[in-house]
Chain A
């Protein structure tokens, strides 16, 4: 069975802390994504990566960075967490084939920044 694993289900951090959210997929997918999900706003793309060491900004990259050193792992970094980054963070991966854009999602990390 395909699997996207996010390292933490719930996380509580303080303002100004550096936060790492980890995501690992076991499907050998090229593409990996980080979304945040907020009530009334839906899923918004933060960053994505289509290859190792490659990254592209999504719709809301401010305050975030990413790292993809290995194909299976995509990390989201909050350099200095702020309260407005309290959200549900979803990682996803896909095998881009030109005809199938199906995403596989992790279970999400609910981050609270106090």
Chain B
């Protein structure tokens, strides 16, 4: 059975802190790992990672994949209150159409 595990499940930081969110996976025929941000509504796409060691970056957010150790991290530098959200990671498993999601990390950034 495919498995995606995120840690920590929740995190509270102060504005300006740097955070690292973790995602480990056990997925048959691994192809990619995706990160989403979910505020009050629809999860929105952040990154898709397919290759080890290549960092993807968007502003203060960055992510990297380690296919040998089967994990990915999402870094957020200089956090802002607007970064407060649930961060989801997911990977398509043995079935071509399905994403297996982790339970998410709830990040709270306090002023």
A residues bordering B, Cβ < 8 Å? 4, 31, 33, 35, 40-45, 48, 50, 56, 58, 90, 94, 96, 99-108
Contact across chains for A42 and B98 when beta carbons are under 8 A apart: no
Interchain CB contact (< 8 A) of B103 among A4, A33, A41, A107: A41
Q: Which residues of A contact B45 (CB under 8 A)?
A: 102-104
Number of A-B residue pairs having CB atoms within 8 Å of each other in the complex: 59
In the complex, residue of chain A having the shortest beta-carbon distance to the beta carbon of B42: A105
CB distance from B32 to the nearest CB of A (A): 6
- Alpha-carbon distance between A35 and B34 when the two chains are bound, in angstroms: 17
Q: Which residues of B contact A43 (CB under 8 A)?
A: 88, 90, 101, 104
How many residues of B are counted as interface, with CB atoms below 8 angstroms from the partner's CB atoms? 23
Q: Which residues of A contact B102 (CB under 8 A)?
A: 42
Q: Which residues of B contact A103 (CB under 8 A)?
A: 34, 36, 43, 45, 90, 99
Contact across chains for B98 and A108 when beta carbons are under 8 A apart: no
Per-residue CB proximity of B27-68 to A under 8 Å, as 1/0? 000011010100001111100101000000000000000000
Contact across chains for B41 and A48 when beta carbons are under 8 A apart: no
B residues bordering A, Cβ < 8 Å? 9, 31-32, 34, 36, 41-45, 48, 50, 88, 90, 92, 96-99, 101-104
Contact across chains for A101 and B41 when beta carbons are under 8 A apart: no
Contact across chains for A101 and B99 when beta carbons are under 8 A apart: yes
Contact across chains for B103 and A40 when beta carbons are under 8 A apart: yes
Contact across chains for B43 and A96 when beta carbons are under 8 A apart: no
- Alpha-carbon distance between A99 and B50 when the two chains are bound, in angstroms: 9
9 smallest beta-carbon distances between A and B, as pairs: A42-B103, A105-B42, A43-B101, A107-B41, A101-B92, A107-B42, A105-B43, A42-B101, A31-B97
- Alpha-carbon distance between A42 and B97 when the two chains are bound, in angstroms: 18
